[in-house]
Structure 1
Amino acid sequence: MEQKPTRDVLDSLIESGLHEINRERSGLLLSGISAGLDIGFGPLLMATILTLSAGGFGDLATELLLASAYSVGFVFVILGRSELFTEHTTLAVVPVLDGQASIRGLLRLWGLVYVGNVVGGFLFTLLAVLLMPGLGVVTPAAFEAIALKLVTHDLGWLFVAGVFAGWLMGLLAWLITAAQETTSRILIIWIVTATIGILHLPHSIAGNVEVLFGVFMSPSISVLDYLAFLSLATVGNLVGGGVFVALLKYGHVVRGGN
């Protein structure tokens, strides 16, 4: 199939970004909550695999399974067209760079979607930790192990690794726009998000669920650990998607990328 020209990809991104920036507040907030809920199925499936698998973190087969499970939530969110904050670190920035949207509109979108994502993730986590252990498919130790993978690093690592996660998510927004088939899009989502998963990079929205698992289920993970993770991962994600994808790709296309 013929590849979509990069100018067409950029124009599609601008059109999509403008549509989201101009959406009604309640629609953005509800869509953000929906995404926060749906993305939780990835970390939950990871906890289930850790519970049922003979291996653990560090075992290659288990790591590959966990990375694939991690991507499931992203497939649900992106193909379901719910609003994910980390996609908008690129998608909603491009119209601003092109002069078709204001920074105020961008911040409004970010704020509504981010709050919705975090609230949705909190609600999903609450349901998961209350209901899943009773079904016998997930143990508290599995929830704790997933959270510890993200909070046992120093603050500098959280920021830098968050930049890489945001970079990959911004790249995902670009590649999804360039792809022209659902099958191709699913494959792209799996490749990019499984990369984030296998590298244990801090994605602020999926990680919101992962670390909250630990806050609810482990005495060794505090609310302060959660807040430090969430703030640094969020800032890192913003830098990664906004600078390494939105700014650079916009710049090379408008300067003759085709």
Structure 2
Amino acid sequence: MSDSETGGSTEQMTSRNILGSLLKSGLHEMNRERSGLLLSGLSAGLDIGFGPLMMAVVLTLSPGTFGDLTTELLLASVYSVGFMFVILGRSELFTEHTTLAVIPVIDRQASVRQLGRLWGLVYAGNIVGGLLFTLLVTLLMPELGVVDPTSFETIALKLVDHDLPWLFVGGVFAGWLMGLLAWLVAAAQDTTARILLVLIVTGTIGLLHLPHSIAGNVEVLFGLIVSSAITPMDYVAFLALATVGNAVGGAVFVALLKYGHVVRGAD
């Protein structure tokens, strides 16, 4: 086992090493079997649902609500739980691959068709996994006793109660942060550092209430199922604009810029 795997190495990776690691990882994922990608995406879609579920629990049990500093910080912290399960568990999350998979295409080691195949399979698995998680929790919710259905409505409205341009721009920022997280996790030398990075970056997304297409898929689906205030059109509009925004944010602000500065002489 290497020093980096045991947490014993303190040497910082160079930008070129990080880029090389992401290239290798992206090419590996592109060459995986279709069933493996789908199952990994399904697992990620299921696992990430624990974040929105814990947010609903916090809103139910907390005396405060959105706008209260303590409650907001708690919500942002538990929002990160699902991302920790996914990223540390090495499941496939669509918003990570907006960076990981674009880089091999920019480097001309993979085709746009391969990129589309990877994105499509992972995204489909993520969405279906999120739907299954939502249905399971909805069935169990009356017996849990710690979740008020109105909490799900409150969380969903926080995402869909915006103008459409905001959903896209907010999605760009969320994708930017997720792409940056993928880059930073590749640079991290131990598990503790990775946990802190996931907590800080995804907690920022949660604190700013930015639309993340996969976690948000679960958040809005919960609201759609338990509340008449959330309509199917709200869900479709959110998912479409958040997805496109996430892809643009990760591909442009991380993949293109990071790749460009590294190949032009960064260490």
Same structural fold, with TM-score higher than 0.5 when normalized by the shorter chain: yes
Alpha-carbon contact 1:17-1:94 (below 8 Å) kept: yes
> Which of the residues 101, 107, 119 maps onto 1:110?
119
> How far apart in 1 are the matches of 2:164 and 2:141?
31
Which residue is equivalent to 1:46?
A: 55
> Which of the residues 149, 167, 176 maps onto 1:167?
176
1:30-83: CA deviation from partner (whole Å, max 9, x where unpaired)? 000000000000000000000011111110000000000000000000010000
SS state at 2:175 partner = helix
> How far apart in 1 are the matches of 2:98 and 2:119?
8
1:191 shift after superposition: 0.3
Alignment of 1:50-89 (within 5 A): 50-89=59-98
Which residue is equivalent to 1:100?
A: 109
Alignment of 1:8-23 (within 5 A): 8-23=17-32
TM-score (norm 2): 0.96
1:132 shift after superposition: 1.9
Alignment of 1:1-258 (within 5 A): 1-258=10-267
> How far apart in 2 are the matches of 1:151 and 1:130?
24
AA of the residue aligned to 2:252: V
SS state at 1:57 partner = coil
CA RMSD of aligned residues (A): 0.5
Which runs of at least 4 in structure 1 moved beyond 2 Å after TM superposition? none
AA of the residue aligned to 2:131: F
Alpha-carbon contact 1:125-1:213 (below 8 Å) kept: yes
AA of the residue aligned to 1:38: D
1:200 shift after superposition: 0.1
1:129 shift after superposition: 1.4
Alpha-carbon contact 1:133-1:140 (below 8 Å) kept: no
Number of residue pairs aligned between Structure 1 and Structure 2 = 258
> How far apart in 2 are the matches of 1:169 and 1:112?
19
> How far apart in 2 are the matches of 1:44 and 1:245?
30
1:133 shift after superposition: 3.1
1:100-151: CA deviation from partner (whole Å, max 9, x where unpaired)? 1111000000000000000000000011112123321001100100100000
> How far apart in 1 are the matches of 2:265 and 2:186?
19
Which residue is equivalent to 2:5?
A: none
> How far apart in 1 are the matches of 2:156 and 2:135?
15
> How far apart in 2 are the matches of 1:135 and 1:171?
36
Which residue is equivalent to 2:3?
A: none
SS state at 1:86 partner = helix
AA of the residue aligned to 1:237: N
Structure 2 stretches of 5 or more lacking a match? 1-9
1:144-203: CA deviation from partner (whole Å, max 9, x where unpaired)? 001000000000000000000000000000000000100000000000000000000000
Alpha-carbon contact 1:42-1:69 (below 8 Å) kept: yes
1:257 shift after superposition: 1.2
SS state at 1:257 partner = coil
TM-score (norm 1): 0.99
1:2 shift after superposition: 2.1
Aligned-pair identity in percent equals 76
